[in-house]
Amino acid sequence: MKKIAVLFSGKGSNFAHIVNTLHHKGFEVVVALTNNPNAEGIKIAKAASIPLEIIDSKAYESREAFDDAVVECLQKYSPELTVLAGFMRILTPIFTEQVKSINLHPSLLPRHKGLNAIEKSYEDKHAHGGVSVHYVTSELDGGEVILQKEVAKEGLSFETYDVKVRSIEKEALVEAIRMVLS
């Protein structure tokens, strides 16, 4: 079993997909960690009996202090890979230089790093948008791209485009986890 850690901040829909497709199927989610004590994804971890760690980012004076606590916590579980699945934190070198991790981003990087990427990619001049899974470095959305999946924008309303991007996110993330750990 390949050991993975999953970090999330909100609903946990990508986390749920990882649990449903990979957990106990050659992979084990050894810990789920959130920075948000009210994240809906907490229910997913509890329902799947996955160890859950809540480290409230608001309780730390700096990004570095928070990242230090996260790294220390993750090390207790020895994951081979840490997956950022909607983890809404900009990570410092304290995390990025010690933890092998990947992130899902809803644009074709290097286009549209950071927030509101789906809106920005819908409105740009390119015929396709999509998603990227990349290694996490201390540069926001700047690590090496592992894989990308495209969505043609022609004729789509923003709502339809948004749904299509979100539906391929889950497949892309699971495929990237398999690639990195194979």
- Cite the active site residues: 105
- Residue 105 near residue 134, CB atoms below 8 Å: yes
Task: Please choose, from the candidates 47, 46, 68, the residue with its C-alpha nearest in 3D space to the C-alpha of residue 59.
Answer: 68
Q: Which DSSP string corresponds to 129-164?
A: EEEEEEE--SSTT-SPEEEEEEEE-TT--HHHHHHH
Q: What is the DSSP letter of 84?
A: E
CB atoms within 10 A of CB 105: 24
Helix (H), strand (E) at residue 14? helix 13-21
Enumerate the β-bridge partners of residue 101: 82
Q: Cα(106)–Cα(148) distance, rounded to whole angstroms? A: 10
- Residue 147 near residue 182, CB atoms below 8 Å: no
